[in-house]
Chain A
Amino acid sequence: MRTARKPPGIGKGQPVLSTHAPQAAHTAQTATLPATLDEAVEALAAMPAAVPVAGGTDLMASVNAGLLRPAALVGLGRISEIRGWQYQDGHALLGAGLTHARVGRPDFAALIPALAAAARAAGPPQIRNAGTLGGNIATAGPTGDTLPVLAALEAVLIIAGPGGARREVPVSHLLAGMDMLRPGELIGFVRLPLLHAPQVFLKATGRTGPGRATASVALVLDPARRGVRCAVGAVAPMPLRPLEAEQWVASLIDWDGERTIVPEALTAFGEYVAAACIPDQPPAEDGSPQPLPPAVLHLRRTVAALARRALGRALS
């Protein structure tokens, strides 16, 4: 029979399709499905070549593209302890296995609005249903939508290691490569402060439908410490924090009153942030200023507009 569809059961072991291919021996894949974080770490320790997989939205795309051929997989989908969140002295402890879809829901949005907004913007529903917070951090893609929010909130990762070990790493250290995940380690939880104040995540994309960010801005207010924290995503390999701009604008906000600011300061803040993240070209040898290429200039304008709008919305 030629047309119609495959008869069921075609694959391994069927005489019609032999698989005595040379690579068959080392792609004989084993997948384990541990039920706890420590079991998962043990499984990774037992099989150093194994790759952990949560939502698989990045990993499986690499496998399908032939870029990655994992010898074994450790599935993290059954670890219930990392699929929820709990409260810990003024902080939220989020499981790394929380999906974008879960994080985007209104009950979570009441807790950490910017993270919920970023999760809602992270691709189409199919991706959001599968992709996880921990996966977004581990992939550390430049356009990872939750990353600028985590950077702005100064999130701390709780990393599980062999033998029940736990260590804490600031998210920015991991993203900057200052502190890497060691072999056999897994991101278990993400600790974020609960600020009880407006937070904004804004993202510019190339189309109206879901798309990768061309630039994104996360901005959170911290009234207790009278601070504004902002991170810019997608313009660099990791989210960028314009620290000087943050401090400058925080000093202009009337924290004791209605948290207002003059409109000119919003514009100036946007430009300050953009110039910090997308600096001018160094001048030419003769000292004349070098203009930015038009596409970069547009990116800078976009970041300025996003930062201005983000602060405006947070203070409105």
Chain B
Amino acid sequence: MSNEAAATAHTATAVETQPGPEPLPHGIGASLPSAESRAKTEGTFPYAADLWAEGLLWAAVLRSPHAHARIVSIDTSQAREMPGVRSVVTHEDVPGQALHGRKTADRPFFASDVVRHHGEPIAAVAADHPDTARMAAAAIFVEYEVLEPVTDPEKAFAAEPLHPDGNLIRHIPLRHGDPEAAGELVVEGLYRIGRQDPAPIGAEAGLAVPRPDGGVELYIASTDPHTDRDMAASCYGIDPDIVKVVVTGVPGATADREDAGFHLPLGLLALTTGCPVKLTATREESFLGHAHRHPTLLRYRHHADAEGKLVKVEAQVLLDAGAYADTSSDALAAAVSFACGPYVVPNAFIEGWAVRTNNPPSGHVRGEGAMQVCAAYEAQMDKIAKKLGIDPAEVRLRNAMATGDILPTGQTVTCPAPVAELLAAVRDFPLPELPKDTPEDEWLLPGGPEGAGEPAAVRRGVGYGLGMVQLLGAEGTDEVSTATVKVHDGVATVICAAVETGQGFSTLARQIVQETLGIDDVRVAPVDTDQPPAGPSCHGRHTWVSGGAVERAAKMVRTQLLQPLAHKFGMSTELLQITDGKITSYDGVLSTTVTEAMDGKELWATAQCRPHPTEPLDEAGQGDAFVGMAFCAIRAVVDVDIEIGSVRVVELAVAQDVGRILNPTQLKVRIEAGVTQGVGAALTENLRTPRGLVRHPDLTGYALPTALDTPDIRIVKLVEERDVVAPFGAKAASAVPVVATPAAVASAVRAATGRPVNRLPIRPQAAVAT
């Protein structure tokens, strides 16, 4: 039915646009469509799982079935003898560094003596058929001595070290202000946040092809190709120059894509067999392999005065990092720094720990650290409002942060921080109508259209969430990106190793070049590691640093293009202007086209963007650790069936601080995607790991939000206050809705039921009331 409807709609628009062809949107601020969306919709987009090479072999990875065990022996003889098996590799076959990791090299390529989490890679097989490879992997005999897993992060402190590096990955004791300060009102709470999985719809897949020079090429959907290349080269013990990562067909990413546990073995198998090797992960392997959001335990005590102004916040934040460090230290820095939220807090004492357990490793998932603390500090704000008997939005307004205020880390917020404006916008937006005012067949009660919802048992609640995230990597990370712009024959090409993960970078790059050079036909080259690094795709980096680098390179090309003309007419290039492929001077004397000015030449320019440096947090958690910040306010309206505890989010009203709108359609899509991921974290998404073992690693057991679970998303206000230090003044938009949505939904369920709701995702038994 929807197909027909879409087809009709399509024809209708085609007919409408026939009379006069509309000029295609171009440049900054236009809703340029993504170049890939058409191919993705039509099913012609080549994803990593579609790769093929002549004579390829298939790989399979043997993963640990235990959360914690000592490996007594590994016997691969049976697997090696199976017909069709070409290579079996274990830790003994790793030629280079045995350990790797994104921040700290603490993760073994293959487990050798101990397995520390369920799904840890132990061996890999290459065979001429995927089934042979899987059967051979199953035929590897590993003798384990099963050990007691440490799965409770609170017990990790006192437990035997699980790793030579110890169980404490990072501790930040943030101290800011007067420890003796006390308020008239004290509220306390204990909060638990579950394990969200990024659950990429396209599971991990890749192809490794050996090179004649002894190196290897990895065709993977990496979001951080240069780091992946460096890790691979150090593990293979070869020069990074002969390892090449080619980024192919990323099917969307909300976290670090591509688990090192499968693409490192893939390259090693290609090197040992001399043949191309391919692997497509099953859904189960995907869940076992990649990093998850940090499950977090939070204890909070807020002191406020009689007006509800915050006096002091004391908190303990405990992040379960899982078996390996990954990027947990960054997540902890974000959690501790934003532990009080976008509120003015004169005195803050936050203890943060990231500890090692035998749970599956946690890592970068957007909004990491910030999302967990947001759920807790917003619950605390609700408690203050309830104690004082004032409106929850009012309490938040009284404490809202603004530009010039100081974070608990001692850093002054120099970027626009229109928190009060955002909150007022969502608060004043009209509430959705009640179901009783609409026709009965349109009611969608909690439990769904075929569910058990009973109007008499449904209560409506309204709640708020204010979130903030960092932009760019923090604490002295060298955030740099390099981009090249080439113009030849009326076509501009952008070469930049920033991966298009669905965040819209390639569209943005095209818009930037269109805006600067007036050339509409802009192409974005595929990414590989022969290009200079652009860094990982996270924290809104590419909008800022890669976008900035593209702009600079485009401006350099512009100067090269205009210099001869300017020289000829004796004016500076600033007085010339390019619009719609035409070059005109300020006085209209000169008028020519870009093509003429190019005169068959090929123009190239390469530029870097490196924002101002940051500093690490010191031993008291103080320091200017962040380049930029983004804020948003969300008002959630929920319906709760208070007898069964089923929750339906009716509407989410979003107001966001975006700096400047670069592409209205994509911005809307990014906000909607972030909000939807937040709804999942609030209600259904929790990867259960009793005793460290991943349960239900499939999309039936792990419930992602469907279209029916996703509420109406109203973008109420986009505050365009340019951040002067950011290119175009823009702030990346994807992460902050993920941070604030779960808090807003929990707040609304609290309002509907009167229950404390201190655990995410919200379990039905926490949402029942009488």
Contacts and interface: CB of A to CB of B under 8 A. Distances in A.
Interface of A: 1-7, 10, 16-24, 27, 64-66, 117, 120-121, 124, 202-212, 214, 294-295, 297-298, 301-302, 305-306, 309
Nearest to A216: B452
Nearest to A120: B450
Residue from B128, B209, B444, B457 having most chain A Cβ neighbours under 10 A: B128
Interface size class of B (residues with CB under 8 A): 35 or more
A170 B707 CA distance: 39
A116 to B, nearest CB: 10
Contacts of A298: 645, 764-765, 768
B518 to A, nearest CB: 32
Q: How would you classify the secondary structure of chain B's contact residues: helix, strand, loop or mixed?
A: loop
Interface of B: 46, 50-55, 82-84, 127-129, 131-132, 134-135, 207, 209, 219, 248, 276, 282, 284, 444, 446-448, 450-452, 454, 457, 643-646, 648, 683-684, 700, 703, 705-709, 764-765, 768
B528 to A, nearest CB: 12
B452 A309 contact: yes
A205 B645 CA distance: 10
A66 B134 contact: yes
9 contacts: A2-B209, A3-B219, A5-B52, A23-B135, A207-B706, A209-B709, A212-B700, A298-B768, A309-B454
Given A209-B448, A302-B764, 8 more contacts: A2-B51, A4-B50, A6-B52, A19-B129, A23-B135, A204-B644, A204-B764, A301-B643
Contacts of B446: 208
A211 B685 CA distance: 13
B424 to A, nearest CB: 30
A75 to B, nearest CB: 22
Contact of A21 (B131, B284, B447): B131
A27 B128 CA distance: 16
Contacts of A209: 448, 703, 705-709
Contact of A208 (B51, B451, B643): B451
A128 to B, nearest CB: 11
Contacts of B209: 2
A204 B447 contact: yes
Nearest to B446: A208
Given A120-B450, A202-B452, A2 B643 contact: no
> Which 7 residue pairs spanning A and B have beta carbons closest together?
A209-B706, A298-B765, A202-B452, A121-B450, A21-B132, A209-B708, A305-B643
Contacts of B135: 21-23
In this complex, the member of B46, B54, B134, B451 whose beta carbon has the largest number of chain A beta carbons within 10 angstroms is B451
Contacts of B645: 298, 302
A16 B129 contact: no
Nearest to A295: B765
Contacts of A65: 282, 284
B758 to A, nearest CB: 14
A109 to B, nearest CB: 12
Contacts of A66: 134
B506 to A, nearest CB: 17
A203 B452 contact: yes
B662 to A, nearest CB: 30
A211 B701 CA distance: 9
A6 B50 contact: yes
A220 B457 CA distance: 23
A208 B765 contact: no
Given A21-B84, A21-B132, A206 B703 contact: yes
Contacts of A120: 450
Contacts of B447: 203-205, 208
A3 B51 contact: yes
Nearest to A308: B643
Contacts of A4: 46, 50, 52
A204 B451 CA distance: 6
A133 B339 CA distance: 53
A204 B454 CA distance: 12
A207 B644 contact: no
A16 B708 contact: no
Given A203-B452, A302-B644, A294 B765 contact: yes
Contact of B703 (A22, A121, A204, A211): A211
B84 A3 contact: no
B100 to A, nearest CB: 26
A297 B763 CA distance: 13
A20 B52 contact: no
A309 B706 CA distance: 26
Contact of B52 (A1, A204, A206): A1
A252 B219 CA distance: 71
A309 B447 CA distance: 14
